[in-house]
Structure 1
């Protein structure tokens, strides 16, 4: 269903919520896509929404991105490096294998700090808090605009608590 953020995935017709949170686990940016949409293409638009954000007239800047392996792609790392954003994303097994097959031409592995990566659970906890809103967990709203507005209202409630 084009435009309604519904798509086939393993669980049937679903939607996927892409979320960026700050260090305290509060939602900052939200994108809604069909269920079969990949995570990686949504990272840069998600960060673009944050760069448009201003608090007390000061533009909010992203300093570091903590993400799971779904966002580990060389083009994404390159784009984040170009934006001067530090990255803590584990490398996928196929990328490690491809780099090793190329030998010296494969380059060195990207920097990864497992201690810092432990803080990524903040994002998962924010998702869990959003799923406590029953209408979000089951997507009662048929239209994508209504569902996104429910998500934004839930995010506002989390911000105001």
Structure 2
């Protein structure tokens, strides 16, 4: 076993969740070997053609990664792992579970791909139904960049992730991230969609976000922007009371930054090499699967 490959204990937890290998006109390869090859590429950020021979043909690793992205296998595996983690009581829904924040440094930008990245020598058009028109790329001070918006619980488990272009603001994506929090319950019934509390920084201090959280009856701890506080004070009694802010609860928001640091240890996440946004999202989901294991 090479450095970075799945240990036996993690493979025992992952193997029952994996679907059969897709039929490709040749004898099916060992799923563990293929998964380790896919993870090696995401961990190192190397081109698919550089996947070491010990993981089998690089074409097999890329084909399996691509097909499981198209049929939704990667998010299904991640969802099943989240259900297991929640049933074991590891996900902390108490005391500031909903951590939604932007990535650090230039608003979480990951460098965009070079021309021709992702599909090695291929021009496929299938599996692009969910592909955004801008491919999740936007022009910012750092060039073409991509943003990852995360919702993290108090135990540093990622509950939801949204990929957008790098120049997109954080606040407009808040509701989309919150709506993606859906953790099914092992015994059936409605999935868990509402955290006990949301902590976020000043980028999410807006009347619309606070109204959205009150409407869903979710307590929140979000500091008020200075210009908003000044505008409220200038209006006098018409400005209303300042929003409540718990400094002690806000200190727990650092776990979001810790999770982001762990996520960006995978070079395929920290630097976007995938041409398509749906492929890059699958790479992020793969990194979350490995870290959840």
DSSP-derived class of the 2:180 partner:
helix
CA–CA distance in 1 between the matches of 2:237 and 2:264?
Answer: 46
**Residue in 2 aligned with 1:126?**
259
CA–CA distance in 2 between the matches of 1:138 and 1:123?
Answer: 19
* Superposition RMSD in Å: 1.2
Larger radius of gyration: 2
More strand by share: 1
**Residue in 1 aligned with 2:287?**
154
CA–CA distance in 1 between the matches of 2:240 and 2:141?
Answer: 36
Gaps of 5+ in 1: none
DSSP-derived class of the 1:33 partner:
strand
CA–CA distance in 2 between the matches of 1:3 and 1:36?
Answer: 11
- Alignment of structure 1 residues 1-161 onto 2, 5 Å: 2-50=133-181, 52-56=182-186, 57-58=188-189, 59-60=191-192, 61-160=194-293
Higher relative contact order (CA 8 A, sep 6+): 2
CA–CA distance in 2 between the matches of 1:22 and 1:69?
Answer: 19
CA–CA distance in 1 between the matches of 2:134 and 2:167?
Answer: 14
CA–CA distance in 1 between the matches of 2:175 and 2:165?
Answer: 17
Count of matched residue pairs? 159
Q: TM-score scaled to structure 2, two decimals?
A: 0.53
Q: TM-score scaled to structure 1, two decimals?
A: 0.95
Gaps of 5+ in 2: 1-131
